Structure formats: structure tokens, C-alpha cells
A and B are shown apart, each in its own frame.
Chain A
Amino acid sequence: MKKSGAEILVESLIREGVNVIFGIPGGAILPICDILYDSPIKSILHGHEQGAAHAADGYARATGKVGVCLATSGPGATNLVTGLATAYMDSIPMVAITGQVPTSMIGNDAFQEAPITEITKTITKHNYLVKNVEELAETLKAAFYIASTGRPGPVLIDIPKDVQIKETTFTYPEKIDLKGYKPVYQGHPRQIEKAVKLISTSKQPLIFIGGGVIISGAHKEIEQLAKKTNIPVASTLMGLGGFPGDNPLFLGMLGMHGTRPANYAIMESDLIIAIGVRFDDRATGKLDRFAPHAKIIHMDIDPTSIQKNVKVDIPIVGDIKNVLEHMLPLLKPPQIKPWLEKVKKWQREFPLTYPDDDILRPQYVVEKIYELTRGEAIISTEVGQNQMWAAQFYKYTHPRTFLTSGGLGTMGYGFPAAIGAQVAFPEKVVFDIAGDGSIQMNIQELKTAVAYKLPVKVAILNNSFLGMVRQWQELFYDRRYAMTDLSKNPDFVKIAEAYGAVGIRVEKKEDVVPALKKAMEIPKCVFMDFRVNPEENVFPMVPAGESLKQMIGGMA
């Protein structure tokens, strides 16, 4: 029996195990929406396609499955761009489906035509313009395979309207063979042996984890590695949750707003075991002064990450979980007692702190969210100070519980991402830790949260500034607060109420805990407007372009 392109698409999605799709319809995607209407796939209607893309991304980060979003041609498709770039930078598996004008009209500047495959070429792992309905099933199979394997990433499929309508016989391929795409999963045994030798003779080793650990599902192996060798662990922003934040060997995040113990350890270490990281400049500080005394072992599935920013002594290309499974039984614990004592001393001397007074401070809010959720919530963040405080003052103990735009740093990411995570886990507590600037970049998604009864909690750390930018202006631009004043913010409580959500304003420190408790009891989306200290800064801090030793602030 013949099926239309739209039917083939929806059946293929079902075969790939997709049960929810985030998007906004339009003329060029109507045939697909019409088939979705009767399908078991749930569709979530968003307020803006960027919101749909981030929701698919949040869903993917929280579950590890491929997130799927959908948009119409032209402006619908271009509105996905920031969402795709965000997912691409953080290696998130996503499939975006866009409608396109009919094949006969492509290239004619037709109504709502945009060359979305051209536009997204460098911000997707791969993309397709499907010109024949006969290619559709195979393209979908390839798209899901590419998105979810190797170093994952978003894949876009652009489907002209006539291809959605045309019919052909449907067979879904069981397997796919792509000549130019063969991810390497097994680490080279000789490289692994070399690494084992180096680890066992090291004196001041440090495990340095990144987002790759979470993508690979290697958190258990990392824990075993640390347990077996007693080597302390530092993490990038993206690696948080890859190793229990409450484990005594955990030094916290490193980098620009990392902890002193983590950054000092990097600078004094003689061996860095870098796992699933890409040595981003926010993590390394000034590159030529990064880890000056250390040899570097680098495990990553993506050869392009290796030797890109720092010179690596032992590269191991492969899936981290797989590599560690081979490595663990061979390991002999190194003799590192003096090093551990040194590290312990730093941990005692330099905990993350903030003034303990009556002022309502953002760090306190984050700390209380951690305590009240017992670290069992899924936390998303916006970008800026809120993101850094969420990283510093909440201890992530499970992978896939911290959703943040690390690579692109996209303001407006957190709220829709939290919506996507809540769709995946209706029973879990999901918080978006937000800034008053960022939340206004996708605030229209309140409508989505209300319509689908998604009880996302949004904790706005409202400092009436574009806080992180203001902090830089305070420190490096003589307190000239150009374009960062948000004192004319709207009333967030009223906005929430107007959408049918709940709003709570908190102005005093002692009201934080009761407000959080109340919010967690309300089975609805809640906006909490925490009026925090306006000129609070994120400390400690390594000024851009300095080495990790050059830390300012944050001392008790």
C-alpha cells in the first residue's frame, strides 16, 4: 500500500521511538501536522519556534533520547536557528523537521521560502533537503542515526510540501550504512596501556570531566575511576552531574568561575586525565598557561576535539564509557598522599562562600533550592550570573539533571528547556534558575507551560540588571552601566498570573524557604520573583585572558 510523505514521516518517527514533538505549524508543514493529529505522538504547541527547539533540546538532555522539533518554512525555520546552534555547540541529539515550499518553487523567492539547509549548514551535525518522497524513509533513518551516535548533534530535515503529499510504498530500513560516517567507539589498547602507566606513576593527578561523560553515560565508570585511584575530580560546566557533587573527591567546577581548589589543582597538577572535554577557553583560562606542569591524557569520541586547543600527550579516541571499562581493571592506584593533603587543605581554606547577613542574596536562593529538593530536581538555567550561581551552589549528584547552554551561552534557553524536561518527567521537580533579563527572551512559553499543565518552577534571581554584563562593567569598565539597566522590568508576578500561572514575589531572606516550599506544593507553573541584591557579583573569577591562578574575590 502506498503512503504519503507525511504518513511516512510520522510512521518513521514512531519507529524511532519518538513520542513527543515540539513545534509550531504553518502552511508548508500542514500535511505532516494533519497526520500527527491522529498519531500516538504527542505534539506540544509553543509560543515561538526557538522555544520549541530548546524544549526538544531540554527533553534530549534530560532523557538522553533524540528530541524532535517541527516548524514551517521561512520564518518558522529561521526561528529555529538559535536553538539548533545551542544544541550543536553542546552536542545534543536533536532532529528538526521543517516544511519547505514545493520543489517547483524552490529558489524563486516564493512566499515563506528560506534556504534553511544553507543557513544551518555550520550549526547542524548534518542536514537534508528531501527532494523525492522515495528518499524520505532512508533520510529519517540516517538523521536519527547521525543525531544520536558518535559525538551527537542536531540534524535538520527540510521537506518540501509536495514531498509531504506525494505517495510511495513505505519500507523503513532496518540498518543504515553511511560511507563517510563511522564513529570510533573502541579506544586504542596501546594508548590505554600508556595512559594506565602514566596514571600509576603520577604524583599530582587530576581527573577533569566534561559534557562527554554525561553523553556517553560514563558517570558510574568515572566514580569507579576516582574510587579506585583516589584522584580528585574537577568538572567543566557541562560535566556537572557526571560525578557526584557531594563526593569528598569533588573539587567543583573549574575555569572562569570555578572554585579555587579546582583551578589551583589544575595549575599544580602533573597529570590531567581529561575526559569528554574540549578545553573551552571559559574552562582553561589563558591557554598557554593552562596546567603548566602537567602531562595530559585526553579521551574523547571526537578526534577534532583532540589537539585542538592544548597539546595532548596521550590522546585516546573512543567512547568514554567503553574506554574506561577497558582501563579500569588495568589501573594501579598511584601514591598521591601528599597531593591529596594539599588538595584537602585548599578545600578547607577556600570553600565557595558569600556573606551571611540579612540581605537576600541569589546564592542563598540556589542553596535553598538544593536543600529543599535534596538534589533530586532537574535544574535548567538561563545565561549569566544565574547560570554560574546555579553551577556553584547546587550539588548535582546525578547525570542529566543540569541543563544549561554551555557552548553558545544562549539567554532564553532555560525556561523552554525546563518545559521539555518536564514533558519527559511529569513527576519530577523541574526548576529553571533564571535572570530577569534572560527570562524575558522566551517568556511567551508561559503559555505552553500553562496549556500543557507543566508545573515548571521558575526562580528569577531578579537583580534589575543584565547582571553578568553589569559585573564586567563594574570590574573592567569603571562601573559605567551602559545598556544593562533593567529597572523598568515588568511585574513578573502579574505576567505569570495573566498567563494563568502562579506568581510569587520574595523580597526578604526569611521568605525564601516558605516561598520555595509553597511553589513546590502548587501543581502548576510558578514564577518566583526573588528581588535579590542588585550588585551581587559571581566570585571567584578569573578575568578573561588570565591564567587560572589569577583568581579574584570569593574569599571568606
Chain B
Amino acid sequence: MMRRVVSVFVENKFGVLSRIAALFAARGFNIESLAVAETDEPGFSRMTIVVTADERLLEQVMKQLRRLIDVIKVEDMTEKEHVDRELVLVKVNAPPAKRGEIVELADIFRGKVVDVSVNTITIEITGAEGKIKSFLSLLRNYGIKELIRTGKIAISRGG
């Protein structure tokens, strides 16, 4: 089993997302994250899908994805040179006495404070997986109240 990042370029037709999700579901794959939006070309979208899967099974799913009429290109980014990012919004417990510490932490990780209330701070952070992971593990000491992430997006390096 291995974690894989798959990029899928699709024609943005009615139902395309559910077709793709159904393919993963039919094989019993659990999609860890899925991010999708329109590209620069109107009518075409790019999806980044993260799954943990047996390599042979994933190979099969990628072939099946290619077989879908609305799918134009499927790439396994895992082995390619690529850049990936994720955006996270995290609301953390922050009594006035801890506020300074937390803001400092956010600064170190180039996070941005986007909301403050009496007892909480909400921070926006983007980055690659490792950075986000360590940031969140530090925040856990204060108590994370709410967390939402976009899921990973990936783009290949070079031309």
C-alpha cells in the first residue's frame, strides 16, 4: 500500500465528479482528499486526488479513469517532480495568556491570523504536507477546536 497523488484533467461535464468518485468507490478505495476547480481554459477542470492504494489496483483505476469519456488526462504525480500545496483553516483555543505564543508560532510557519475571538484564534496556513503536519501537531497542545482543509493540489515541475 502506498499513498498516491493523482491528477485528473477533465471536461467539466454534468456528473463527471460523481463518475470519478464512483470508480474509486467501486474498488473500495477511500479517497483521502479531492480538490477540484476550473482551469484557465473554461469548461475544463483539474482534480487532485490523494488515495492510499495498492499499486496494481491503482494502476487499474487509472486506466479506468482514462476510459471515462469526460476524462482527458490522468497522471500519477507521486513519482514525478511536482509541487504540492494545501490550505488549512484552523481554529485553536487561545485564552488571552496564550495568544502571543500562538501568533508567534503562526509567524514561524508563515501562517496568517484571519480571525480572533475572546478565547480562540483562527489561522490560515498553506504549504506542503510536512510543514502543515508539524504546525498542526504543535497547535494540538493548545486544543484545536475546528479544522478544515482544502485537500492537496499538485502541479508538475518544469515545462
B69 touches A181 (CB 8 A): yes
Chain A, 484-519, contact with B by CB distance < 8 Å: what is the 0/1 string? 000000000000000000000000000000000000
Question: A180 an interface residue at 8 Å Cβ cutoff?
Answer: yes
Enumerate B1-51 residues with CB–CB distance to A below 8 Å: 10-11, 14-15, 18-19, 22-23, 26
Q: Are A307 and B15 in contact (CB under 8 A)?
A: no
Residues of A within 8 A of B26 (CB): 122
Chain B residues whose CB sits within 8 angstroms of the CB of A179 once the complex forms: 11, 72
**Which residues from A are CB-within-8-Å of B66?**
303-304
Verify if B71 is at the interface (C-beta below 8 Å from A): yes
Chain B 56-73 per-residue mask, 1 if CB under 8 angstroms from chain A, else 0 = 000110011011111110
Contact A180 B71 (CB under 8 A): yes
Q: A178 at interface (Cβ–Cβ under 8 A)?
A: yes
- How many residues of A are in contact with the other chain, CB < 8 A? 18
Output the least CB separation between A107 and chain B (Å): 13
Report the Cα distance A181→B64, complex, angstroms.
12
Is A146 touching B60 in the complex (CB atoms < 8 A)? no
Whether B60 and A308, one on each chain, are in contact in the complex, defined by CB atoms closer than 8 angstroms, is yes
Does B70 lie within 8 Å of A180, measured CB to CB? yes
Number of residue pairs A-B, CB distance < 8 angstroms: 39
Are A117 and B63 in contact, CB atoms less than 8 angstroms apart? no
- B residues less than 8 Å from A307 (CB atoms): 59
Cβ-neighbour of B69 out of A129, A131, A146, A308 (below 8 A): A146
Contacts of B18 in A (CB 8 A): 118, 121
Tell me whether A162 is interfacial, beta carbon within 8 Å: no
1/0 per residue, CB under 8 A from B, across A279-314: the answer is 000000000000000000000001110011000000
- Closest chain-A Cβ to B44's Cβ sits at a distance in Å of 8
For the complex, give the distance between the alpha carbons of A178 and B26 in Å.
25
| CB proximity to A under 8 Å, residues B49-96 | 59-60, 63-64, 66-72
Q: Give a binary string over A174-195; 1 marks a CB under 8 Å from any B CB, 0 the rest.
A: 0000111100000000000000
Q: A126 near B63 (CB under 8 angstroms)? A: no
Q: Which of A88-105 contact B (CB under 8 A)?
A: none
* A23 → chain B closest CB, angstroms: 24
* Chain A residues closer than 8 Å to B64, beta-carbon distance: 304
Supposing A121-B15, A304-B60 touch, asked if A180 and B69 sit within 8 A by C-beta, the answer is: yes
Q: Shortest CB–CB separation between residue A176 and chain B, in angstroms?
A: 11
Residue of A nearest to B19 (CB): A121
Complex Cα–Cα for A304 and B56 (A): 12
* Chain B hits for A146, CB < 8 A: 69
Q: Given A180-B10, A180-B70, A180-B71, are A121 and B22 neighbors across the interface (CB < 8 Å)?
A: yes
**For window 108-123 of chain A, which residues contact chain B by CB distance below 8 Å?**
117-118, 121-122
CA distance A304 to B67 in the complex (A): 8
Q: Which residue of A lies closest to B59 (CB)?
A: A307
Do B10 and A117 touch across chains, with their CB atoms under 8 A apart?
Answer: no
Q: Bound complex: CA of A131 vs CA of B68, how far in Å?
A: 21
Query: Hey, which bits of chain B sit against chain A, CB under 8 A?
Result: 10-11, 14-15, 18-19, 22-23, 26, 59-60, 63-64, 66-72
With A122-B23, A122-B26, A180-B68 already in contact, 10 other A-B pairs whose C-beta atoms are closer than 8 Å: A121-B22, A125-B69, A126-B68, A146-B69, A179-B72, A180-B69, A180-B71, A303-B66, A304-B66, A304-B67
11 contacts between A and B (CB under 8 A): A121-B19, A122-B22, A122-B23, A126-B68, A178-B69, A179-B11, A180-B10, A180-B70, A180-B71, A180-B72, A304-B67
Residues of A with Cβ closer than 8 Å to B? 117-118, 121-122, 125-126, 129, 131, 146, 178-181, 302-304, 307-308
